[in-house]
Amino acid sequence: MEAVPQLFFDAAWRRDWAVDFREIVFGPRIGAGGFGEVYKCKYEEKMVAVKTLQKVEDDDPNALMGEFMVEMKLMSKLRHSNIAQFKGACIHVPNLAIILEFMPGGSLYRAIHRRRRNVLGAFPLLKIVWIAFGVAKGMAFLHGQYPVVIHRDVKSPNILLGTNVREVKITDFGLSRLRVNSYINTARGTPEWMAPELLRQDAFNEKSDVFSFGVILWELVICEKPWRDEHPRRILYKVGNRGLKLPTPAPEQCGPELRQMLVQCFADDPSRRPQFRNIAARIEDMCKQFDT
């Protein structure tokens, strides 16, 4: 087998995290991403989620391999209650895989649209704020690293749920980057959740993640897919060029505090968007109001 270049994985990393692909017992496929598939598996007698890299023969295999290796190395360093826990990785071609903790609630995207299909209406406000709190805490942790970790693909499919609303985890760090300078120039992501500066391919920083978080808040309140089934080019034109935004929910749909936060996250000027540590603190206050 051909190994991923040792430049990326030194002996200490391999000792701590490298997993023999043959030790994984594969179960059903539970998801698919931009460059791989996710399976429910068993490893060391525990249920795990295994993300495999399936498309190394695509047009730009080096880019896919690079994203996969970035995700492996980054996730092995991140430890937080709102970040999906990294369990190990298979680093030999063609069996590249990332092993993560298994979250039985699936993705937030599926939960939202399962609710919509069953005509259950919006989530209760308490559930909205607790899920938002978990995401905000995880993002505050990422943005609090040095260098800052910019996720670049914050969206409901990348938010995982456990057995209750307080178990919320951020996953999928394949597009993440470390911000060494003030801004980054390489834009990637999913158009429905992307900030206007990303869609225009302008320079950006961690505040682009805040805009994407605003889209998640909007989804939680409205229970709709952002921009429905608009073509990505139409989203680029509307959001990136014309500055259009998703319709702001009415105060009675989410309360004035959450509505104000959503509006602030959607600010055209990234510097006017709040920081995640402030977002988390404000949402924590909302949670306390519900608990009293």
Would you give the DSSP letter of residue 240? I
Structural domain 106-291, CATH architecture:
Orthogonal Bundle (1.10)
Distance CA 249, CA 107 (A): 23
- pLDDT of the residue at 74: 85
**C-alpha radius of gyration, the chain, whole number:** 19
Q: What is the CATH number of domain 2-101?
A: 3.30.200.20
* Residue that wins the pLDDT comparison between 11 and 111: 111
Q: Is 285 labeled as catalytic in the residue annotation?
A: no
One-letter amino acid of 291: D
Confidence band, pLDDT 50/70/90 cuts, at residue 95: confident
* Residue that wins the pLDDT comparison between 108 and 10: 108
Of these residues, 10, 16, 153, 285, which one is catalytic? 153
In the sheet that holds 106-107, the strands lie side by side as: 106-107, 159-161, 168-170
Q: Residues 276-283: what's their mean pLDDT?
A: 98
pLDDT digits (tens, 9 = 90+) for 115-132: 876 666 778 999 999 999
93 - beta bridge partners? 2
Confidence band, pLDDT 50/70/90 cuts, at residue 59: low
pLDDT digits (tens, 9 = 90+) for 133-155: 999 999 999 999 988 999 989 99
* Residue that wins the pLDDT comparison between 97 and 8: 97
Q: At what angle do helices 125-143 and 207-222 cross, to 10 degrees?
A: 170
- pLDDT of the residue at 284: 96
Look at the block and give the residue holding tokens 């406000």: 125
Least confident among 58-67, 189-198, 258-267: 58-67
Residue 51 is labelled as binding a ligand: yes
Equal CATH topology for 2-101 and 106-291? no
Q: Residues 228-232: what's their mean pLDDT?
A: 88
* Residue that wins the pLDDT comparison between 137 and 252: 137
Q: Is the pLDDT of residue 5 over 70?
A: no
Distance CA 257, CA 150 (A): 26
- pLDDT of the residue at 290: 77
- pLDDT of the residue at 69: 77
Q: Is the pLDDT of residue 180 over 50?
A: no
Mean pLDDT of the chain: 86
Q: Which among 34, 264, 256, 260 has a CA at the least distance from the CA of 125? A: 256
The two beta strands, 46-53 and 86-93, are: unpaired
Distance CA 257, CA 278 (A): 13
* Residue that wins the pLDDT comparison between 265 and 8: 265
49 - beta bridge partners? 40, 100
Contact 176, 74 (CB under 8 A): yes
pLDDT digits (tens, 9 = 90+) for 149-172: 999 899 999 999 999 989 999 998
Check residue 146 and give left, alpha or beta (phi > 0: left; psi -120 to 50: alpha).
Answer: beta
Tell me the domain boundaries of the chain.
Answer: 2-101, 106-291
Give the list of residues 6+ apart from residue 133 with CB closer than 8 angstroms, or none.
168, 280, 283, 284, 286, 287
Contact 199, 190 (CB under 8 A): no
Q: What predicted TM-score, i.e. pTM, was given to this entire model?
A: 0.89
Q: Is the pLDDT of residue 241 over 60?
A: yes
- pLDDT of the residue at 50: 95
- pLDDT of the residue at 34: 60
31 - beta bridge partners? 38
Residue burial 234-258, b: 16+ Cβ < 10 Å; e: rest? ebbebbbeeeebbeebeeeebbeeb
Report residue 61: phi and psi, to 5°: -60, -30
- pLDDT of the residue at 2: 47
Q: Is the pLDDT of residue 264 over 60?
A: yes
